[in-house]
Structure formats: C-alpha cells, structure tokens
C-alpha cells in the first residue's frame, strides 16, 4: 500500500462481520440491499474520517531576531507558500514548489499568525475527502457524525477542494450490487492516525458502527410503539 495508490485488503473475519450486520439490518429492519450497502459505506467513511489526523492551525515557526528599527521581530518558518507578485493575485501556484525557509517580519505573534504563509488553510482536507466520498453518494454525512469541525474557516472551499480527489460509484442493479469508493489524495494514508493498520481495521470498525446504528434504530421503533 502507498499514497500513490491505495489497495485495501481486509481480514476475512472483518468482512464477514460487516456482512453479518448488513444481513441483520435486512432481517430485523427490513431494509433493502442497496440501503444496507449505503449504511455500510457510510460507516466505513465515518471511521476513516475520524481516524484521520488534523494538522495544526499554524506551521512551525521560530523567532530568530529583530529588525534594525526594532519595530518588527524576525520569524523563520518552513513553507511552500510564496508571496504573490501582485497583491490580491495569489493563485494555486503560490503553494507549489519545494519546502524552503522563509523569513517573515511581524511586530508580534498575533500579527504573524494572520499571514497566509503561516496559516494552514487546508487543514483537515484529508479527513474531509473521506466525507466527500459519502456526499457524492448522497449519504448526508454531517460534521457532527464525523467528530466535529473538519476544516478551515471557509467550509465551502474546503469541501470543493476535497471533491477533486474522491470518487463514488454505486451499482445497485444486477446480481452483484456494490459501491466503489476512491480517494486519490496522495497523503490520505499517511494522514491516518495508525497508518496502514487503520485502513486494515476500518472494516471491523464499520461493522461496529453499523451494529450501533441498527440497534439504535430498533430502539427508536420500539419506543414509538
């Protein structure tokens, strides 16, 4: 497995556990195979999103001096961000290129943290990408279900960026109904809290999540009687 191409392989017992919950949903709640597949896919995507690390708000920086006028402090950071040549004309190319040292002059840390080169604007993109797989499949995965806020201040921009990297295909007709999910974000695996082990345990966690959903649905139905 690598970040260039994710090949998912799960223990057969985990696959059986998830299938058992899908059958339980059909038997106890009367849900159809397409619905059970969507429930299973949603549980999987939620578990992946919850297990994905969120970057800090700011890149690491350190104070290395003060200007001659003593009006500003000098900070050094590692970044790919390059100041655009024309004010207000920052483009995607501004963030391309190798990591490099950059000096920033600011009167204090509060002012420093407002600089684009210091802020990690796309923090949470890896987690959001998993959720957008579900959004494309109209599973209605919410921020709360994913464990809280998952991105920068502008959520709309974050979601739009995440959708560039994901694929969702549902084949519900025929003898072999299935859902195919693709996440092409190059650091999707390395952003997981447990790396490859997290991917391999995702199926068992999805089974547990689906079991909880079925149990809660049964409780609600029983309470409504």
Q: Comparing 3 with 55, which gets the higher pLDDT? A: 55
36 and 20 within one domain: yes
Residue with tokens 């290129």: 97
Reported confidence tier of residue 33, pLDDT bands at 50, 70, 90: confident
By C-alpha distance, which of 84, 80, 105 is closest to 95? 80
pLDDT reported for residue 137: 58
DSSP letter for each residue of 19-85: HHHHHHHHHHH---HHHHHHHHHHHHHHHHHHTB----SB--EEEEEE-TTSSSEEEEEEE-----S
pLDDT reported for residue 96: 54
pLDDT reported for residue 141: 53
Residue 98 lies in a domain: yes
Domain boundaries, position 142 = 12-54+123-224
Residue 1 has pLDDT above 60, yes or no: no
150 and 100 within one domain: no
pLDDT reported for residue 143: 52
Give, for 15, the enclosing helix (H) or strand (E): helix 12-29
Rounded-to-integer distance, Cα 107 and Cα 102, Å: 16
pLDDT reported for residue 4: 46
Reported confidence tier of residue 84, pLDDT bands at 50, 70, 90: low
CA angle 194, 131, 49 (to 5 degrees): 20
Q: Are 143 and 150 in contact (CB under 8 A)?
A: yes
Query: Percent of the chain beyond pLDDT 90?
Result: 10
77 and 93 within one domain: yes
100 and 16 within one domain: no
133 and 192 within one domain: yes
Mean pLDDT, rounded, for 211-217: 88
28 and 139 within one domain: yes
- For the entire predicted model, the pTM comes to 0.68
pLDDT reported for residue 2: 40
User: Is residue 94 classed as helix, strand or coil in its secondary structure?
Assistant: helix
Residue 6 lies in a domain: no
DSSP letter for each residue of 157-172: HHHHHHHTTEEEEEE-
130 and 153 within one domain: yes
Helix then strand then coil, % of the chain, to nearest 5: 40, 15, 40
How many domains is the chain built from?
2
Task: Sort 185 into a burial class: Cβ within 10 Å, 0-12 / 13-18 / 19+.
Answer: buried
pLDDT reported for residue 91: 46
pLDDT reported for residue 90: 47
pLDDT reported for residue 83: 57
Question: What mean pLDDT, rounded, does the chain reach?
Answer: 77
pLDDT reported for residue 10: 62
162 and 143 within one domain: yes
Residue 185 lies in a domain: yes
75 and 143 within one domain: no
pLDDT reported for residue 18: 83
By C-alpha distance, which of 111, 57, 59 is closest to 81? 59
Residue range 114-164, pLDDT digits in tens: 888 888 877 888 888 888 887 665 555 555 444 444 444 556 777 788 888
Range name among 102-116, 148-162, 211-225 with the lowest pLDDT average: 148-162
């Amino acid at each position: 497995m690598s970040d260039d191409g994710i090949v998912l392989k799960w223990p057969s017992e985990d696959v059986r556990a998830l299938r058992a919950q899908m059958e339980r949903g059909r038997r106890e709640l009367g849900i159809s195979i397409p619905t059970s597949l969507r429930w299973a896919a949603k549980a999987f995507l939620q578990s992946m999103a919850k297990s994905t690390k969120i970057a800090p708000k700011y890149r690491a920086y350190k104070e290395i001096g003060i200007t001659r006028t003593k009006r500003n402090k000098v900070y050094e950071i590692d970044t790919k961000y390059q100041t655009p040549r024309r004010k207000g004309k920052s483009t995607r190319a501004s963030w391309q290129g190798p990591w490099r040292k950059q000096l920033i002059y600011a009167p204090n840390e509060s002012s420093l943290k407002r600089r684009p080169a210091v802020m990690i604007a796309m923090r949470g993109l890896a987690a959001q990408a998993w959720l957008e797989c579900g959004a494309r499949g109209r599973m209605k995965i919410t921020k709360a279900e994913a464990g809280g806020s998952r991105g920068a201040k502008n959520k709309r921009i974050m979601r739009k960026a995440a959708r560039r990297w994901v694929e969702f295909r549902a084949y519900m007709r025929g003898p072999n109904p299935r859902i195919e999910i693709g996440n092409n974000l190059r650091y999707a695996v390395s952003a997981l809290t447990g790396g490859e082990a997290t991917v391999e345990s995702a199926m068992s966690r999805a089974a547990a999540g689906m079991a909880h959903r079925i149990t809660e649905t049964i409780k609600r139905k029983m309470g409504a009687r």
